[in-house]
Chain A
C-alpha cells in the first residue's frame, strides 16, 4: 500500500527581503497511515516550512509531494483549500479559536466551508466535542475555557471533517505540563484509530510521546528513528 504522505526530494526557497532563504534543501520522507510522528529541530531548521508544505498551506519549490495517493505539489490554491478542508486537520500553538464564539460553532467551521448542511454540522460538531471530552462545554466561549480545554476544542475542530492527517504545530507550547500530557494522550488515541498525527515541537519530552521522531537541521533530515512512545499518563496518576 502506498504511504499516506510521501515527500520526494522536496526543496523550498523563499525570499526574505534581499536574502534568498533555502528553508528545505531536499527532504524525502514517507509517513504511513496511523503513525504518530514528531518533527524536531531548532528554530530555523526548516521544521515549520516542512509543516506548511505537508499541510498544503504552501507549495514546494521543487520535488514531489503525494498525499493519500494524490500529487498535490502543483495544485492551485483553491484545490489546496479543499484538501486542507477534507484531508487535513490543523492544531495551532495558540489554539486560534474564534473569540466570543461558542465551542460548538468553532468546531462547526470546517464543515461550513465543506458545504455541510446545518443539522449535520451540529450533530458532527457535537460528536467531535464529545470525542475530546468536552460534551459538557459546547456552549462555552473560548474565554470561558481553560487553555487545555481550548486546545481540545481546537482538536475537535481539526477532527470534525474526519481527516486523514492531523498537523499540530507546537500544540503544547502554551500549556502547562499536566495539560500537555492530556493533549498528547489524545493524539496517541487518534493514532490508534488510524489517524496520522504530525507534530512539530522543540521539546524532547513532548516528542517522547510519538512513535517516530524526525530531526531537521539546516533544511535537511538529520535523523529519523522509531521509538516506543512514552505512556501519556498525567503525573500523579501514574500509580493509579
Chain B
C-alpha cells in the first residue's frame, strides 16, 4: 500500500468522525495559533525597535573626552578636553575599520528668522555627519567640505526648527537666520528623523560647519575638540577595538588609564533587541507548552480510537494488513490531525494578530520561516504523540482483536 493510499484511508477514518476530529485538533489550533500570533507581535515590536535604532545611524560609536579630577571631585565625561583634531584625523585616515569619523560640537542658542525666534541646539559638524546618521535632506543641499574649509556661514535647519521659524511646508532655502547675531544663510532643511529611543527630538537642531562653529559660536581650544567624535565603523565592535588601540597609542596610555570614553550604540540597540527577544522567547515557550497540551489531546483521542476500533483493526489484519500497515494508518491519522490543526492554527494566529493590530495598533510582522516551522513542528507533534497509540494498534493480536466486544 503506498503512502497516498495510507493517507486516503486515514482521511476516510477521520472524516467518519468529523466532530471528534475537529475537537481533537482544537488543541493544536490554539497552540499553533498562539505561536503564530505571539511571534508576529514579538517580531513586530522587535522590528520597530530596530527601526528606531537604525534612525540613530548604524554601527555608531561616540567618542567622548575624559574627565578632570579636581580636589577629589571627578568632573564627569567630557570635562577634560583630551581628544585632539589630530586624533580625529588619525582615526579617519589610519583605521580601515572606520568608514566615517566627524567631530560634533554642540551649544544651545537662540536662532532668529526675519519674524520668529526659537531656542535650539546648534551643532557644528562636517558633511560626513549626515552619512553617519544616514540623514537625507528634505530641501536644498547640505553644506560641503569646502564650506567647512572656508568657514562659510551656512546652516542646515532641522525639520522642527524650520517649522518653528517659517511654519509648516514653507521653503526657507536662501533665507537668513541669525545665530548669536551672526547671519547664516539657510542652504538646506534636513529630513524628518523623529525621536530618539529616549524621547529627544532629533529634528530640533541647526547644523553649521564645525569651523564656523568654532570661529563664531563657541571659540576656544584650537588643538582640542570641545565636543565629541562620531564614528561609523564597518562593524561597531571592530571599530571600537581599533579606535581604543589607536587612542591609547597616541596618548601613551596603558589599558585602564583611558582618558576617553567610547559609547557603542550598537550595544544599546542589541540590548534592546535582546530584551524584546527574551519576551518573544517566553511567549514561544508558553506557545510550545500549549502545543504539547494539544499533542497530548491527540494522543488521548488516538488511544480511545484504537480501543474503539479494535475489531476494525482485527478485521484489517485478518484480510491482510501487516503490522506496519496498521502502524502507518494510525500514525498518519495522528499526523493528519496535528497538521490540519497546525494549518487551521496558522489561519487563526494570523487572524488574531491582524485583529490585535486593528484593535491596539500593535505592529505585527509575519515571518514565512515561523509559519513553516509551525507546520513542521505540528507534524512532528503528530508523530511524537501518535507513535505510541499506533504502535499499540499494530501490536494487537488479530485473534484477540476480532473477539473484542
Contact = CB atoms under 8 A, between A and B. Distances in A.
A99 B322 contact: no
A171 B335 CA distance: 37
Contacts of B314: 96
**Majority secondary structure of chain B interface residues (helix, strand, loop or mixed):** helix
A52 B320 contact: no
Contacts of A105: 12
Contact of A84 (B312, B318, B399): B318
Interface string A168-201: 0000000000000000000000000000000000
Interface string A107-118: 001101111000
A139 interface: no
Contacts of B9: 112
B399 A113 contact: no
A211 to B, nearest CB: 25
A82 B320 contact: yes
A110 B319 contact: yes
B320 A57 contact: no
Interface residues of A, number: 29
Given A90-B318, A101-B12, A52 B325 contact: no
A157 interface: yes
A109 B318 CA distance: 11
B311 interface: yes
Nearest to B4: A118
A113 B398 contact: no
A69 interface: no
B402 A96 contact: yes
Nearest to B405: A94
Interface in B297-325: 311-312, 314-325
B338 to A, nearest CB: 23
Contacts of B402: 57, 92, 96
A181 B312 CA distance: 27
Contacts of A18: none
B318 A77 contact: no
A120 B12 CA distance: 20
B320 A114 contact: yes
B283 to A, nearest CB: 42
Interface in B230-280: none
Contacts of B2: 115
A164 interface: no
Contacts of A109: 316, 319
Interface in A135-174: 157-158, 161
B5 interface: yes
Interface residue SS majority, chain A: helix
A52 B317 CA distance: 13
Given A57-B399, A115-B2, A78 B322 contact: yes
Contacts of A110: 319-320
Nearest to B9: A112
A99 B315 CA distance: 12
Nearest to A81: B322
Contacts of A81: 317, 320-323
A100 B322 CA distance: 23
A23 B2 CA distance: 39
B223 to A, nearest CB: 91
B405 to A, nearest CB: 10
Nearest to B5: A112
A171 B314 CA distance: 17
Nearest to B309: A98
A41 interface: no
B311 to A, nearest CB: 6
Contacts of B319: 84-85, 89-90, 109-110, 113, 157-158
Contact of B315 (A52, A89, A96, A114): A96
B212 to A, nearest CB: 86
A162 to B, nearest CB: 13
B375 to A, nearest CB: 28
Interface string B323-364: 111000000000000000000000000000000000000000
Interface in A57-110: 57-58, 77-78, 81-82, 84-86, 89-90, 92, 96, 98-101, 105, 109-110
What are the 9 tightest A-B residue pairs by CB atom distance, in nearest-first order? Answer: A85-B320, A96-B315, A113-B320, A81-B322, A110-B319, A90-B318, A100-B16, A78-B322, A57-B398
19 contacts: A78-B322, A78-B323, A78-B324, A84-B317, A84-B318, A84-B319, A84-B320, A90-B315, A90-B318, A92-B402, A98-B312, A99-B16, A112-B5, A112-B9, A113-B322, A113-B325, A114-B320, A115-B1, A115-B2
Given A58-B399, A81-B322, A82-B322, 20 more contacts: A55-B318, A57-B402, A77-B322, A81-B317, A81-B320, A81-B323, A84-B318, A84-B319, A84-B320, A85-B320, A90-B315, A96-B402, A98-B315, A110-B319, A110-B320, A113-B1, A113-B319, A113-B320, A114-B320, A157-B319
